[in-house]
Structure 1
């Protein structure tokens, strides 16, 4: 799969199959990300109602096969979006981002 800019835009939710059921369910019920065309990644807290908790500007980086995001560095960002995510591609138009949280470890966000 080759990921282009257009593929990246959208809402990302926690994948329930890549981590322990209890932890991934809790993360899924509490957090989601959105990548917008304005080049801001927005992190939302979903419990009770969806509300913005942080945002960070991003740019696209070209690697040999895909466009992935790189976040602006800022130590004040929420622990989930403090570092650049890793893009993982799978066959048949499927990919996901892994964010390394200092509190939760790896968080697997898949496009909704």
Structure 2
């Protein structure tokens, strides 16, 4: 009546592949939490550090930008450095996701997690 386990064997392979994918995703997320990027503005007068997941972790400001009459310039430089760090974090995360999907034989534009 039952001729082998045909479909069941395929299902077992799919489940194993899904578990491997989940483990790789968890590993990638851990790596992205500890990987850092640095954004800059004002030729390095303001530097912002963030995890590759976009969490701001540090801000370094050259004291020369603290001139009372240039308050708006200092604010703009700080915001620009933060935005640069966040942009670099997003690019790094996307790059790592594409690498991971490529390793799994998935199309480069495949979106993980589902």
Q: Whose helix proportion is higher, 1 or 2?
A: 2
Q: Settle same-fold status: TM greater than 0.5.
A: no
TM-score normalized by structure 1?
0.22
TM-score normalized by structure 2?
0.22
